[in-house]
Amino acid sequence: MKRISTNLPNDNMSYHLRMREWQMNEAQNKMAAQTRIKDPRNDPLATGHSVRFQSREARLERYLQNITRARGELGLAEGRLQSGLDVMQRVRDLAVQGANGIYTREQLAYMGDEINALLGEMLNVANSIDGQGNYVFSGHRARTQPFRMHTGRVEGSQGTEVITGVEYVGDIGRNAAEIDELAVSEYTLPGNQVFWAERQQIFATQDATAYRVQANSTIRIDGVQIDLKEGDNVFAVIERINSSQAPVRARLDPVQNSLALEGTFPHQIWAQDAGQGTVLQDLGILSRGNGSPPLNSADSASVYGGSVFDMLMHLRDSLYRGDQEAVGGSGLRGIDDSVETLTAHLSQIGARDTRLDVAEKRLAWEKPEYTKLDSQERDLDLSQAITELKMLEYTHQATLSTTARILRPTLLDFLR
């Protein structure tokens, strides 16, 4: 026999009624939220899939935003470089005219004045600022004006101060945007590459044939770290530099038996000793004290290979002096080198923009696909949900009706 207390039927009925009400509440909440997964316990497997799909969607959205920003920065740089190329084309026209030999010295000086004005415009292009107040060609030093000018008087300028020197004070940093998993695309260009006309060369004057590295050391050239071992001679140093990823080539100068560095493409070499090492200082490439590049070459070292601004100043000064041979020779050659450099970097920008365009189209197609997959895991079948809710309501009403008939009267019912 099983004993049943007076309250047991009441408790059982109350429990089942509350369970039915809870089920109805859950169904109503799912319909209100338009999702079948309110809590992970509703469907753990589908919840896991949904979380991964939503995570991928969020990353795709971030990648698309990165691409939009990168394309904007590249477009700005492209516009500035195109303006600079237009300036250089005008300068080249003047150089060709000045080399004809049919103009007087006074007329050549007028051409020099125009080139001096174009030099100022070219400097404005190089010191361009974007919409956020950052310098476009300053590397990671976005708030530092990349090119600093010096003024003075030169022969033929008739006492007027003109630009006599331009120094790069930015850095070689490149900003990059993540455009997919493990995929990045650079969208900035350092000014000491974009506005450099010739491959720079640095010749030390110190005999290095007997040199030995005194302790394990590290040097950095154009941002590439090169490790040297204690006891390495100059030929080992040269071999380690040439086998690295640095865009320079080292050799022993046969005239002075000294170390010489030359860039593999037009840019300003960025060299420094890392840590407590003094290898490049000992070899006569860098000045003592290991100052910050690029203005840290040794006073005794010979540095060749100028910037676009050096080419403009050389052409202007040649016109001021009336030196038509220099105008048609080294002057015109320097301008052609400058035009070639600007054109090459415009091509780089175009290639990067093409890659970003392809990536943007792919991500724009991929994002709705993940939205669809997430929808398949989470979305509620509304017609089925309504049917289930109606069934719950019907059974709930039936339970209430049955309960009212089954429960016996209590003692209180006879005390009326």
d(CA 386, CA 313): 82
pLDDT at 12: 72
pLDDT tens readout for residues 313-368 = 999 999 999 999 999 999 999 999 999 999 999 999 999 999 999 999 999 999 98
d(CA 373, CA 17): 37
- Break the chain into its structural domains and give their ranges: 53-195+306-366, 201-304
């203005």: which residue's tokens? 295
pLDDT at 160: 86
Q: Which residue did the predictor score with more confidence, 6 or 272?
A: 272
pLDDT at 275: 84
Share of the chain above pLDDT 90, in %: 67
50 phi/psi in degrees, rounded to 5:
-60, -40
Q: Which residue did the predictor score with more confidence, 112 or 16?
A: 112
The CATH architecture assigned to 53-195+306-366 reads Up-down Bundle (1.20)
pLDDT tens readout for residues 116-146 = 999 999 999 999 999 899 999 999 999 999 9
pLDDT at 220 over 90: yes
- Give the pLDDT band of residue 248 (cuts 50, 70, 90): very high
d(CA 142, CA 175): 10
Q: What is the mean pLDDT of the chain?
A: 88
- Residue 289, sorted as left (phi over 0), alpha (psi -120 to 50) or beta, turns out to be left
Distance from the first to the final alpha carbon of the chain:
35
Q: Which residue did the predictor score with more confidence, 400 or 223?
A: 223
pLDDT at 19: 74
79 phi/psi in degrees, rounded to 5:
-60, -40
pLDDT tens readout for residues 147-179 = 999 999 988 878 789 999 999 999 999 999 999
340 contact partners, CB below 8 Å, separation of at least 6:
none
pLDDT tens readout for residues 361-415 = 999 999 988 888 877 776 665 666 667 766 766 776 777 677 766 665 565 555 5
pLDDT at 376: 75
Give the Å distances, CA to CA, from 262 to 203, 269, 336: 9, 8, 20
Question: Hey, what are 344's tokens?
Answer: 């090459």
- Give the pLDDT band of residue 266 (cuts 50, 70, 90): very high
- pTM for this entry: 0.81
Mean local confidence (pLDDT), 40-48: 72
d(CA 355, CA 261): 34
Transcribe 170-233 into DSSP letters.
S-----EEEEETTEEEE----HHHHTB-SB-EEE--S--TT-B--S-EEEEETTEEEEE-TT-B
pLDDT at 95: 95
pLDDT at 416: 52
Which long-range contacts does 345-353 make (Cβ < 8 Å, 24+ apart)?
Answer: 345/81, 345/189, 345/193, 345/194, 346/78, 346/81, 346/82, 346/85, 348/189, 349/74, 349/77, 349/78, 349/81, 349/189, 350/78, 352/70, 352/74, 352/185, 352/186, 352/187, 353/71, 353/74, 353/75, 353/78
Determine whether domain 201-304 maps to CATH 3.30.70: yes
